[in-house]
Amino acid sequence: MTTETVSKKSLLTPFNVITGLILVMGAALTVWRFGWGIGAVTNLDNNNPWGLWIGFDLLCGVVLAAGGFVTSSAVYLFGMKKHHAAVRPAILTAFLGYLFVVIALQYDLGRPWRLPYPFVVQSGTTSMLFEVGLCVALYLTVLFLEFSPAALEWLGLKRLRNLIHKLTIALTIFGVVLSTLHQSSLGALYIIAPAKLHPLWYSTYLPTFFFISAIAAGLSMVMLEGWLTHKPLHDKMSEEYLAQHDDLYFGFAKGASFVLMGYFFIKVIGIAVDNEWNLLGTGWGQWFLFELLGFVLLPSVLYAIGTREKNLKLIRWTSLLTVLGIILNRLNVSVIAFNWHLPSEMRYVPSWQEIGVTVFVCTMLVVTFKFIATRMPIFYDHPEYKDEH
Amino acid sequence: MKRRNFLGLMGAAGVSATLATKAQAGGNVHFEGYPGSRGVLFDATRCIGCRKCEIGCNEVNNLAKPEKPFTDLTVLDTARRTENEAYTVVNKYDQEGGAPVYRKIQCMHCLEPSCASACFVAAFAKQPSGAVTYDESVCVGCRYCMIACPFEIPTYTYDDPITPKVIKCDLCDANIKAGKISVPGCVNSCPKEALVYGEREELLKIARNRIGANPDKYIDHIYGEREVGGTSWLFISGVPFSEIGLREDLGVTSGPELNSGALSVVAMVPALWPLLLAGVYGITRRTDKINTQEKADAVAQAITETQDKANSDMKAAMERARNDKEATVKREVAKALEEAAKAAEEGDVEKEEEGA
Amino acid sequence: MEHAFYTLQDFLLYTKGWAYILMGASLVVFVAYWKFLFSRDKD
């Protein structure tokens, strides 16, 4: 059906050409990385063992995929039933987000084929990374199950689809538990390194910061994605999805605004309990305030204005601002303010190959998303299951 | 304790649960470390920067020979760190108006190692001997140990695509256990007795004695006694430790201790979130149900009311119709009677007219 | 076998192992228990 209409058009669209070039480059980098080792393609060294692949691909990838648990719990648990059409796009994004986080991780791990070792060979239960690994593995499974009804409807496997559909509530609760755990544990990863992370970003509240900001990121990503997919996938969207779309924006913007305000205060409390006020006057302090005021407090207020004035455009741009702010925060913790004590010539700057692999992974995500969203019932209800909610 | 087989340990736990030991005492637990565990005392006032310890380490561990020979002391002019080919290095720290001070660096063999706390396959372990060892056979290569190490000691063989691994000093634990040597390579080759290998408790006593005997010569502090929870390597020096590259801002909290707070919260999340969320879901569903019920009741009531009204209307209409009908009949009857009467009257008049 | 723990790290490694097993168990039990709790309800 859809495949035919796609193939009839010329394949040489700018999107396809650029995508193709990136995929070719990514394939070459993949061979380079696995053939010659991590050292051949990265600027990682003994002082800077984690770079862009952890800071962006893992930390940002996971936090930006928080839309899945936020949306599904809002709709199925907290009674925002009228927005159920927003669940599938959010679940799909989250599933692909986590899937490609795990794929990107293969590049960073020294021996990726040993990834199951913590669970099958020897468990380092004291490690925050053990917790992250366990929860990401389980949550990927949960997301796969949550997403599978769409694929099963597409494939026409009715009985299996109905069986999984019955598990919706249990899966949603599992999703919240696992998300809470690993979103916060990603922050907790850095609790063991107070000597390396700048004190303004280091806090024993790091897990809480990461979790609360993940909620704001999740809400904002759902809005941002709705905006970005609106045009290219418009003909795939059901009237129901489109009709409640604006309403969803106002609801989610309200939520994000309030969560960001809470996040702002716990960040300030973090400074207060560690008595780091004097550090705010330093260069690092200004960078910290730039993040806190420009990417936490400002979007909170803009969201509030946007929903009060029913200004859709403002809300959309604010969602972008919020997402950029979360990315900035994760990069600050993992790369920019990490190892701040080292002299500048020993600091880490990603190599072009590292950036290339990151772009490659992101491109694969977009292509996969497009492939699935143009074929499976994501933005619309499958006609056979229309009234079931 | 052999930790390779976690599940085996779990099975054994059932037996041991009845045999509580002092170390297991619940609640306010406190651990003193392995009794009699060994370490090394480094005395910076004795080190002459000859790099003999580097040679000893290199030979005992069969490491690749460096580009510049160990006898080349110009190497000391640039600050160095541990590398894949050098488990230990000596750095030179120039002093204003005095002879330079040298400091050896290698794994500090923490009493509560951050690397072990960070490792998600438990590849690192504090041995009863005092060494912190690394097991390459389980290492996934995440390099979180390198993030966690406050002394920036572990290195990684980034250029190996197939079997990359973490590298660090093991206090010659493997060699000593194998009976090849009895003292770590570096200690054995030090010509100035700047290094002493022995039980940590003894080393602390030696250090205190040296400081006590020469209070003007030494800073009154044993670096490593309490830093990050204590280390098996101990340093004493005549100049402030921060001047010989030993950070004084690391604090006295160990990695496992730093982690323990966040770790303890972990267990509460899967226990409490489902209760809360199931509650919220239950309430949402109940609210929905009540709303639906109320709606249904309202609809039913509306229907009944409408029906009642319709019924009564109908009844009224029927009544009216019956009344109307009766009225009509009455009227018709009356009309007929009237007409009959009229006709009779007319007949009478006619008769009267006829009769007249 | 007797467990004497000499380091906090070993103690945590052991106790957190149990904590993880119990976390998994709690999630399974919660689902089953919820079903049991509501099994007599009509809808």
Helix (H, G, I), strand (E, B) or coil at A192: helix
pLDDT on residue A142: 94
Q: Say yes or no: A122 contacts chain C, CB-CB below 8 A.
A: no
Taking Cα atoms as reference points, which of A315, A298, A295, A320 lies closest to residue A250? A315
Q: Given pLDDT bands bounded at 50, 70 and 90, which one contains residue B319?
A: confident
Taking Cα atoms as reference points, which of A194, A214, A228 lies closest to residue A62? A214
pLDDT on residue B3: 44
What the block records as the tokens of A196 is 């390396």
The Cα A204–Cα A244 span in angstroms is 40
Q: Say yes or no: A262 contacts chain B, CB-CB below 8 A.
A: no
Instruction: Check: CB of residue B155 under 8 Å from CB of residue A229.
Output: no
Distances (CA, A) of A14 to A20, A236, A363, B129: 10, 21, 14, 65
pLDDT on residue C42: 65
Q: For the residues A249-259, what does the mean pLDDT come to? A: 94
pLDDT of residue A106 exceeding 60, the answer is: yes
Q: Say yes or no: C22 contacts chain A, CB-CB below 8 A.
A: no
H or E segment to which residue A358 belongs: helix A352-373
User: Is the pLDDT higher at A324 or at A235?
Assistant: A324
CB pairs < 8 Å spanning A and B: 179
Q: For the residues B110-130, what does the mean pLDDT come to? A: 96
pLDDT on residue B21: 41
pLDDT on residue A178: 94
The β-bridge partners of B40 are B197, B233
- Summarize pLDDT for B209-226 with one digit per residue, the tens: 999 999 999 999 999 999
Residue with tokens 């009895």: B182
Q: Given pLDDT bands bounded at 50, 70 and 90, which one contains residue B137?
A: very high
Which 8-state DSSP code applies to residue A345?
A: G
Q: How many domains does chain A have?
A: 1
Taking Cα atoms as reference points, which of A214, A173, A226 lies closest to residue A326? A214
- Summarize pLDDT for C1-43 with one digit per residue, the tens: 457 899 999 999 999 999 999 999 998 998 898 889 888 876 5
Cβ neighbour number for residue B108 with a 10 Å cutoff: 26
Which 8-state DSSP code applies to residue B29?
A: -
Which one of C11, C12, C20, C38 would you mutate to disrupt binding with A, by most A Cβ within 10 Å of its Cβ? C20
Q: Is position A119 within any domain?
A: yes
The Cα A384–Cα A372 span in angstroms is 19
Q: Which of B197-201, B307-311, B324-328, B343-347 shows the highest mean pLDDT?
A: B197-201
Q: Given pLDDT bands bounded at 50, 70 and 90, which one contains residue B181?
A: very high
Q: For the residues A81-88, what does the mean pLDDT come to? A: 85
**Strand-strand pairing, B89-95 and B98-105:** antiparallel
Q: Is position A213 within any domain?
A: yes
Q: Is position A118 within any domain?
A: yes
User: Is the pLDDT higher at A86 or at B203?
Assistant: B203
DSSP states of B163-191 as a string?
A: S--EE---TTHHHHHTTS-SS-HHHHT-T
The Cα A46–Cα A342 span in angstroms is 12
The minimum CA-CA distance between B87 and chain A, rounded to whole Å, is 13
The minimum CA-CA distance between A263 and chain B, rounded to whole Å, is 19
Helix (H, G, I), strand (E, B) or coil at B124: strand
* First-to-final CA distance of chain C: 52
The β-bridge partners of B7 are none
In whole numbers, what is the pLDDT of chain A averaged over residues? 91
Contact criterion met (CB < 8 Å) for A177 and C31:
no
With a CB cutoff of 8 Å and minimum separation 6, the contacts of C2 are B16, B19, B21
Q: For the residues A75-82, what does the mean pLDDT come to? A: 86
How big is chain A, counted in residues?
389
How big is chain C, counted in residues?
43
What the block records as the tokens of A216 is 């704001």
Provide the residue range defining the domain that includes A299: 45-380
Contact criterion met (CB < 8 Å) for B265 and A207:
yes
Which 8-state DSSP code applies to residue A53?
A: I
* First-to-final CA distance of chain A: 27
**Strand-strand pairing, B233-236 and B38-43:** parallel
pLDDT of residue B120 exceeding 50, the answer is: yes
Contact criterion met (CB < 8 Å) for C23 and B33:
no
In whole numbers, what is the pLDDT of chain B averaged over residues? 87
Instruction: Check: CB of residue A56 under 8 Å from CB of residue A358.
Output: yes
Q: Is position A371 within any domain?
A: yes
Instruction: Check: CB of residue A42 under 8 Å from CB of residue B161.
Output: no
pLDDT on residue B19: 38
pLDDT on residue A5: 47
Instruction: Check: CB of residue A259 under 8 Å from CB of residue A212.
Output: yes
CATH pick for B33-259 out of 3.30.70.20, 3.30.70.920, 1.10.150.80, 3.40.50.2300 = 3.30.70.20
Q: Is position A386 within any domain?
A: no
What the block records as the tokens of A107 is 């590049």
Contact criterion met (CB < 8 Å) for C3 and B3:
no
pLDDT of residue B8 exceeding 60, the answer is: no
Q: Given pLDDT bands bounded at 50, 70 and 90, which one contains residue A167?
A: confident
pLDDT on residue B27: 57
- Summarize pLDDT for A191-232 with one digit per residue, the tens: 999 999 999 999 999 999 999 999 999 999 999 998 888 877
H or E segment to which residue A64 belongs: helix A61-64
Q: Say yes or no: A134 contacts chain C, CB-CB below 8 A.
A: yes
With a CB cutoff of 8 Å and minimum separation 6, the contacts of B85 are B63, B64, B66
Q: For the residues A253-277, what does the mean pLDDT come to? A: 96
Q: Is position A25 within any domain?
A: no
Instruction: Check: CB of residue B44 under 8 Å from CB of residue B103.
Output: yes
pLDDT on residue B351: 56
Contact criterion met (CB < 8 Å) for C9 and B266:
no
Q: Phi first, then psi: what are they for B43, rounded to 5°?
A: -110, 105
Q: Is position A178 within any domain?
A: yes
What the block records as the tokens of B87 is 């488990």
pLDDT on residue A10: 67
The Cα A366–Cα A99 span in angstroms is 12
pLDDT on residue A3: 45
pLDDT of residue B356 exceeding 60, the answer is: no
pLDDT of residue B343 exceeding 90, the answer is: no
User: Is the pLDDT higher at A379 or at B13?
Assistant: A379
Residues of chain A with pLDDT > 90: what percent? 75
pLDDT on residue B28: 65
Q: For the residues B237-250, what does the mean pLDDT come to? A: 95
Give me the helices (H) in chain B, please. 6-16, 52-60, 114-118, 144-148, 173-177, 185-188, 200-213, 255-266, 268-355
Q: For the residues A166-177, what does the mean pLDDT come to? A: 90
Which 8-state DSSP code applies to residue A279?
A: G
pLDDT of residue A291 exceeding 90, the answer is: yes
The Cα B221–Cα A9 span in angstroms is 77
Give the side-chain half-sphere CA count within 13 A for A32: 15
What the block records as the tokens of A336 is 């920019």
- Domain CATH number, residue A172: 1.20.1630.10
3-state helix vs strand vs coil in chain A, percent to 5: 75, 0, 20
- Of the candidates A123, A196, A207, which has its C-beta nearest B262's C-beta? A207
Residues of chain A with pLDDT > 70: what percent? 96
The amino acid at A279: L
Chain C residues near residue A125 by CB distance under 8 angstroms = 12-13, 16-17, 19-20
Helix (H, G, I), strand (E, B) or coil at B234: strand
The β-bridge partners of B42 are B195, B235
Instruction: Check: CB of residue B85 under 8 Å from CB of residue A94.
Output: no
pLDDT on residue A119: 94
Cβ neighbour number for residue A308 with a 10 Å cutoff: 12
Contact criterion met (CB < 8 Å) for A170 and C31:
yes
Contact criterion met (CB < 8 Å) for C3 and B13:
yes
Q: Given pLDDT bands bounded at 50, 70 and 90, which one contains residue A363?
A: very high
Contact criterion met (CB < 8 Å) for C16 and A126:
yes
Q: Given pLDDT bands bounded at 50, 70 and 90, which one contains residue B326?
A: confident
Q: Is position A40 within any domain?
A: no
Q: Cα B206 vs. chain centroid, distance in angstroms?
A: 39
Instruction: Check: CB of residue A260 under 8 Å from CB of residue A214.
Output: no
Instruction: Check: CB of residue B42 under 8 Å from CB of residue B198.
Output: no
Q: Please report all neighbours of B, defined by 3+ CB atom pairs within 8 A.
A: A, C
